[in-house]
Amino acid sequence: MGSGKTTVAGLFAQLGIPIYDADDRAKTLMVQDSGLRESIVSLLGSTAYLPDGSLNREALAAKVFKDPRLLQELNALVHPVVAQDSLAWAEQQTTPYSIHEAALLIQSGSALGMRAVILVQAPLLMRMDRVRLRNGWTDEQILDRLRNQWPEEDLIPYCRYRIVNDGTQSLQLQVQEIHRAILSDLGK
């Protein structure tokens, strides 16, 4: 969270690479997939959704980021639906490769089906500043979420490529270098 995954994904998109945004799709599927919606209401109650049918993200966050068991149960409902959606999306792509942007790619097990994983890294305080500015969250809200994510050092062994997003290196050059390496690996 706050590392710059979306910014990096946008740079790959500029190179013509399709991007699957797992977080956005999860939010959409949590509203539109009736089976998933019913499961979420069973787990978290009717306050999980607002009267207009939209996801009550504040109420969900208040519950699940304070209770690791609830978060795990919610993820167990959402991740398989997103994984299926992602596979269907990937099958429709005609480019040499595509990008699956997700904060919990490794934790969710989705990385197992990926040819390679790219880790976007940034210092913790920089990540927190970005999230505070982007979302208007308090430090407590940010830390509640970060406590439920693996630390970067635990992700490194799963990643074939790394991008440093701390302002000291050009993101565009790093993306172009990885793009060329992936195409080379694919024989393109």
- pLDDT (tens, 9 = 90+) of the chain, 188 residues, equals 899 999 999 999 999 999 999 999 999 999 999 999 999 999 999 999 999 999 999 899 889 988 989 999 999 999 999 999 999 999 999 999 999 998 877 777 777 778 899 999 999 999 999 999 999 999 988 988 888 788 888 889 999 999 999 999 999 999 999 999 999 999 88
Report how far residue 17's alpha carbon sits from residue 11's, in angstroms, rounded to the nearest whole number: 9
Q: What is the pLDDT of residue 151?
A: 85
Same fold, 1-18+97-188 and 22-92: yes
Q: Please, what sign has the CA dihedral across residues 125, 157, 112, 39?
A: negative
Report how far residue 48's alpha carbon sits from residue 117's, in angstroms, rounded to the nearest whole number: 32
Report how far residue 31's alpha carbon sits from residue 27's, in angstroms, rounded to the nearest whole number: 7
Annotated domain spans of the chain? 1-18+97-188, 22-92
Which CATH architecture is the domain 1-18+97-188 placed in? 3-Layer(aba) Sandwich (3.40)
Fold of 22-92: Rossmann fold (3.40.50)
CB 156 within 8 A of CB 164: no
